[in-house]
Amino acid sequence: MQGRLAVLPWLLWFCCWCPVGASGENPQIHIDALMSPPSWALLERQLLETSGKACEEFFERFFDERGYLLCVERWGGDDGPDDAIENCNDWPTLHALGASDRVLKMVTKAWEGHLRQYTHAKTVQVPFARDGMYYKEFPVMFDWQHNAEGLGVFNLLGLSDPQGVSLLQRTRRYAGFYMNEDPGAPNYDPERKIIRSMINGSRGPLMRKATGLDWTGDPIEVEHRFDLAHGERSYAEMLAHFKDYNDVVGDHPLNLLATTLALNAYLITHEPKYRQWLLGYVDAWRERMVENQNIIPSNIGLDGTIGGECDGKWYGGTYGWGFSVVVPQTGDLAHRNRTYWSFIGFMNAYLLTGDDRYLDVWRKQTDAINAQKKIVDGIAMYPRMHGDQGWYNFVPQPYRFNALELYYLSMRQSDRLRTPETPWLSYLEGNNPEYPVTALRADLAAIRDKIAAMRMDSTTPDTRLSDDSMKYNPAQVESLIQLMLGGIHIQRRASVLHCRLRYFDPVKRRAGLPDDVAALVDHLSGEEVSVTLVNTNQLHARELIIQAGGYAEHEFVQVRAGEKTLQITAPQATVRLAAGAGTRLQIKMRRYVNQPTMHFPWH
């Protein structure tokens, strides 16, 4: 697997914008040592091809020629607009990994269709969506669990087409809704650094108590027609599901997911105002956690005080630390604390700064919660909720929300000890060598099973809700992100891509690995990454650009293959793989030293 590395003359590609700390030069590396294609390499290429074809069949079944989802259009937390576009979750990432250009065309068509479809779709009884569920191509107003889910596709479209005019316009517009640049959407209080309601959007914040109707949507026939994902058997039970979702005025940790909008705008424009707003808002929340004994409050009053809209209770509010409600169809108590979603905001700040204070605040919260453990029948029990009587909802597992994400960013051994064991981490540590082949084969089997189930599905557009077809979405990217990019897959939380390496095809001028090329990351540390690159084509050479980080936020300092070593200072390098060639590269890098950019290396 160790091949001869010949260093060709430097290829001088001067960009119109260059990340801070980069030399502006793109070194070129030539690999000509032969490597018989390993099983993992062939499986990667098969998975990319199969996923693309499966997405085509899925799209043909559930979308029309306009890009509209074939379903009953509704507003609400059960089956609303966010669920509709979630049917294409992971498609942008799949293309950015190297899948067919057809995947990008389909997901772009679906996104454009989605915006039109739900701008035209209107409610009858829900007040704020009567003129359209979307306004200015954005949800009129809803909470950021659902806003985030509905923006998962959009946030990653720039991985494949960062220079599209509509992308630039929308990133500016969307960020502007939270920077008071649109007078019709006064969501933000810049003096107190709060988003003024948990329910917010392009028509501004909801400044009253929410009702079950606001969350549920208009009345709908259920029995003998729909099979609701949450198990409700009637519209009355749908209303009952949301009857206690009332306290929404004031800021909530979920609103930290809105920072991804400013991050998107910064990644494209590099205008300082987006970075400043994002860091200012996250800093305000970090300070509140410190003030609240290291626990993130779940309500901030309009006056900026902790618990200010919930009688001073830091744990109050919908989706807060004390938010436990009755499930109408069973009578069971459900605990719906969504504060842990907020870590995305701290990840966004860390991507921009590499400043550990954005991670340390989460460590301290984890420690503070786990310090409340109690011993029951000899078993340590740890809380998940906090109400008027103190901590409750004790479970036998320590609080570990976002432990993997925290460790991935910091690469500290102390954070690794907090992280639950996973097959991928075990593989990276040399203890699960079969993981790549096992995981890729499992993904291929999952695609087969999803498409088989889709072909058996008997629903029609008038008996199908927006979330019914999601279970058949065939895009499988988690293993590919781990193995090809050395990255983590974050679902449904408005996240950008966090990875150690990315690839571009300089011949086709697109994101992703070129045809026939496969990549396997087998080692990660704070200063190093090791990746095997192989050209499975035995007849033709392939050329690719390898980038340090999803957005060139890292920087290469040394590349080693066998006995050959290249010293560099650049966020990208060009690699030429001869026909049938491959080798393992050991790369030293500095992480989070460049301001991230969404632009391609040649832009």
Give 128-155 pLDDT, tens digit per residue.
999 999 999 999 999 999 999 999 999 9
Q: Which residue has the tokens 């988003």?
A: 195
What percentage of the chain reaches a pLDDT higher than 90?
94
Q: Over range 550-566, report the average pLDDT.
A: 95
Closest to 401 (Cα-Cα) out of 479, 344, 316, 334 = 344
| Residue 17, pLDDT above cutoff 80 | no
557 with 527, same domain: the answer is yes
| Residue 537, pLDDT above cutoff 50 | yes
DSSP code of 485? I
Predicted pLDDT of residue 458: 96
- Identify whether 544 is part of a domain: yes
* pLDDT per position as a tens digit, 79-95: 999 999 999 999 999 99
Closest to 528 (Cα-Cα) out of 449, 440, 464, 588 = 588
Predicted pLDDT of residue 563: 87
Predicted pLDDT of residue 562: 85
Domain final residue, candidates 440, 468, 492: 492
Look at residue 568 and give its three-state secondary structure: strand
Q: Over range 98-125, report the average pLDDT.
A: 98
Predicted pLDDT of residue 347: 98
Which amino acid is present at 70?
Answer: L
505 with 457, same domain: the answer is no
Q: Distance between CA 444 and CA 440 in Å, rounded?
A: 6
Closest to 479 (Cα-Cα) out of 551, 423, 554, 547 = 423
482 with 504, same domain: the answer is no
What percentage of the chain reaches a pLDDT higher than 70?
96
Closest to 294 (Cα-Cα) out of 231, 210, 213, 357 = 357
* pLDDT per position as a tens digit, 393-448: 999 999 999 999 999 999 999 999 999 999 999 999 999 999 999 999 999 999 99
CA angle 157, 253, 280 (to 5 degrees): 75
* pLDDT per position as a tens digit, 561-597: 988 999 999 999 999 999 999 999 999 999 999 999 9
25 with 60, same domain: the answer is no
20 with 63, same domain: the answer is no
- Identify whether 358 is part of a domain: no
Q: How confident is the model at residue 18 (pLDDT cuts 50, 70, 90)?
A: very low
518 with 574, same domain: the answer is yes
Closest to 543 (Cα-Cα) out of 510, 521, 568 = 510
- Identify whether 301 is part of a domain: no
509 with 463, same domain: the answer is no
| Residue 251, pLDDT above cutoff 90 | yes
| Residue 532, pLDDT above cutoff 90 | yes
| Residue 8, pLDDT above cutoff 80 | no
| Residue 3, pLDDT above cutoff 80 | no
Look at residue 23 and give its three-state secondary structure: coil
- Identify whether 461 is part of a domain: yes
262's tokens:
């400013």
33 with 45, same domain: the answer is no
Q: Which domain holds residue 532?
A: 5-37+500-590
Number of structural domains (the chain) is 2
- Identify whether 430 is part of a domain: yes
Predicted pLDDT of residue 308: 98
Contacts of 334 (CB under 8 A, 6+ apart): 324, 325, 326, 327
516 with 452, same domain: the answer is no
505 with 568, same domain: the answer is yes
Pairing, β 385-387 against β 379-381: unpaired
Predicted pLDDT of residue 25: 65
Burial readout 79-117 (b: 16 or more C-beta within 10 A, e: otherwise):
bbbbbbbbbbbbbbbbbbbbbbeebbebbbbbbebbbeb
- Identify whether 306 is part of a domain: no
Q: Over range 463-476, report the average pLDDT.
A: 97
- Identify whether 191 is part of a domain: no
544 with 559, same domain: the answer is yes
Domain final residue, candidates 437, 461, 492: 492
Q: Which residue has the tokens 């309009």?
A: 302
Predicted pLDDT of residue 392: 98
Do residues 262 and 175 touch, judged by C-beta distance below 8 A? Answer: yes
Q: How far is CA 372 from CA 162, 194, 343, 384, 394, in A?
A: 46, 29, 21, 10, 10
486 with 518, same domain: the answer is no
For residue 512, the domain's CATH number is 2.60.40.1180
| Residue 6, pLDDT above cutoff 90 | no
- Identify whether 413 is part of a domain: no
Domain final residue, candidates 462, 492, 522: 492
